[in-house]
Amino acid sequence: MNKINIALLGLGNVGRGVWEILQTNKEEIRERSGYDIEVSKILVRDINKRRDIDVPKGILTTEPEEIFNDESIKIVIEVIGGVDPAKDYMIKAMQSKKHVVTANKLAIATCGSELIKTAKEEEVRFCYEASVAGGIPIIHGLNESLTANKIEQIMGIINGTTNYILTKMYLDNMSFGEALKEAQEKGYAEADPTSDVDGYDAVYKLSILTYLAFGKKISVDSIYREGIRNIEAIDIEYAKEFGYVIKLLAIVKDVNNVLELRVHPTMVPARHPLASVNDSFNAIFIKGNAVGDLMMYGRGAGDLPTGSAVVGDIISILRNDTDPIFKLEGSKSGNLKQINSMENTKSGYYIRITVKDEPGVLGKISTILGQNNVSLLSVIQKGKGQEFVTLVFVTHKTLEGNIDKSIKDINLLSSVKKIENIIRVEKMEV
């Protein structure tokens, strides 16, 4: 049996998952890859740190050059995360003629072109299946299985933390703060949950998916982003009344050869498959012009699901070691020259407003909406005989620019206390 030496850069959550899978499934991996895989070096910050896995101290190092200069190491697994120093480490590994596998969504989203260019120049493989949706093989799917399709749209729940929080708010009537605290206690959310709850994590992953599906490199700063901090229990309840479930969706659509990209809370019809994706699970809904509707579902984070994708990439490299270049290019879906502005995107909208309980308020707001070409699908008024009551509107699909103009005018009404929330509604076919 052939033997291959690999090295890990990092031994955090994902690194531990990779180590555990390589040890637990050693026989299966040997049989499927044709190699006996040995982890010969692991880069860590502190060799003496107490760890909850049994790793021989002799393979731990604090010196990355020990890995780059070791000619016996053929594959380097980067699971440090972030851009610095991860990007430089990956480039140095490639320049040392080592294949690289990473789970680093931020580095791929922001520095992917440079990493891909280096891999090509050095004729090594660069694999990043674990960077999006953990154990779901979405990157392989877009790079291989779906290449016969013109991808028309992708909608995904690609952040497990926010999905867990919204699930708890929906099923257990928790507030956002209560659900976030529980997510932190279970290890789904970091002490600083900003990247997850404010939508940054989903933006990084959407950038990668867009490149793969549409061949278009998108700056993460150009993707519209809105997190879930403003979702309140009352919005969850109104969504139920209207037949919707609120999810944080990452969306990219080809609309007449123009790309529409956004990450935001979305009301999804309760009958749609995405609405039933609960807990920390991820799901990616794809529409192709040949395959039609397709949904991939599974664990989107965690040590073992993400580690599974990493080890899958290692096996992929070993199975194809006669071909020096891993398939890196995004599939091309026409000449997409333009990114749509948010004001020109179309959606339905849920609008919750607190107003004075006085005659004519509903009529004035409805008139403003009509004057701005916003058609109403449903209206609910809650409260009676109080100083302030709640009005809730759900609109038909309309331009976001029309909603913006309407909200500006509605805010000028003396009877309006506050626009409490606005949530986009996707009336998806099933």
Please write the tens of the pLDDT for every residue from 351-375.
Answer: 999 999 999 999 999 999 999 999 9
Nearest one of 427, 417, 273 to 349, comparing CA atoms: 427
Confidence (pLDDT) at 335 = 53
Residue 277 contacts residue 163 (beta carbons within 8 Å): yes
Give the C-alpha separation, 335 to 394, whole Å.
35
- 60-68 mean pLDDT: 97
Q: Which of 41-45, 46-50, 117-121 has the weakest average pLDDT?
A: 46-50
What is the pLDDT, as a whole number, of residue 139?
92
For 131-182, how does the pLDDT look when each residue is reduced to its tens digit (9 = 90+)?
999 889 999 899 888 989 999 999 999 999 999 999 999 999 999 999 999 9
The more confident residue out of 165 and 49 is 165
Residue 422: per-residue pLDDT: 98
Contact between 120 and 94 under an 8 Å Cβ cutoff? The reply is: no
Using the predicted structure, report yes or no on whether residue 386 has a pLDDT greater than 90.
no
- Nearest C-alpha neighbor of 426 from the set 136, 157, 169, 151: 157
Strands of 103-243, DSSP E:
126-127, 151-157, 224-225
Which segment of 115-124, 214-223, 286-295 scores lowest on mean pLDDT? 214-223
Average pLDDT estimate for 32-44: 95
Residue 256 buriedness (CB in 10 A; 0-12 / 13-18 / 19+) = exposed
Tokens of 369: 């909406």
By residue count, the chain amounts to 430
Please, are residues 223 and 207 in contact by the beta-carbon 8 Å criterion? yes
pLDDT tens-digit series, residues 220-269: 999 999 999 999 999 999 999 999 999 999 999 998 889 999 999 999 99
- DSSP letters spanning 101-140: EE--HHHHHHHHHHHHHHHHHHT--EE-GGGSSTTS-HHH
Looking at residue 429, its pLDDT comes to 62
Q: Where are the domains of the chain?
A: 2-132+303-319, 138-299, 342-425
Give the tens place of pLDDT for each residue, 269-284.
999 999 999 999 999 9
Query: What residues act catalytically?
Result: 205
Asked whether residue 105 is marked as a ligand-binding residue, the answer is yes
Query: Span 138-299: which CATH code?
Result: 3.30.360.10
Q: What is the mean pLDDT of residues 380-389?
A: 86
Q: What digits encode the pLDDT tens for the residues 336-345?
A: 557 889 999 9
Q: Which CATH architecture has domain 342-425?
A: 2-Layer Sandwich (3.30)
105 Cβ contact partners less than 8 Å away, ≥ 6 residues apart: 131, 132, 201, 204, 205, 208
**Cβ(247)–Cβ(278) below 8 Å:** no
**Confidence at residue 294, expressed as pLDDT on a 0 to 100 scale:** 94
Under the banding of pLDDT at 50, 70 and 90, the label for residue 20 is: very high
Q: Is 92 annotated as a binding residue?
A: no
pLDDT level of residue 329 (50, 70, 90 thresholds): very low
User: What CATH number belongs to 2-132+303-319?
Assistant: 3.40.50.720
What's the CA gap between 408 and 368, in Å, rounded? 10
> What per-residue confidence (pLDDT) applies to 428?
73
Closest by CA to 74, choosing from 113, 38, 106, 108, is 38
What is the C-alpha to C-alpha distance for residues 339 and 253, in angstroms, rounded to an integer?
Answer: 10
pLDDT the model gives residue 325: 39
- 3-state helix, strand, coil split of the chain in percent (to 5) is 40, 30, 35
Residue 285's φ and ψ, nearest 5 degrees, are -100, 120
The amino acid that residue 282 corresponds to is N
What integer is the mean pLDDT of 311-332?
66
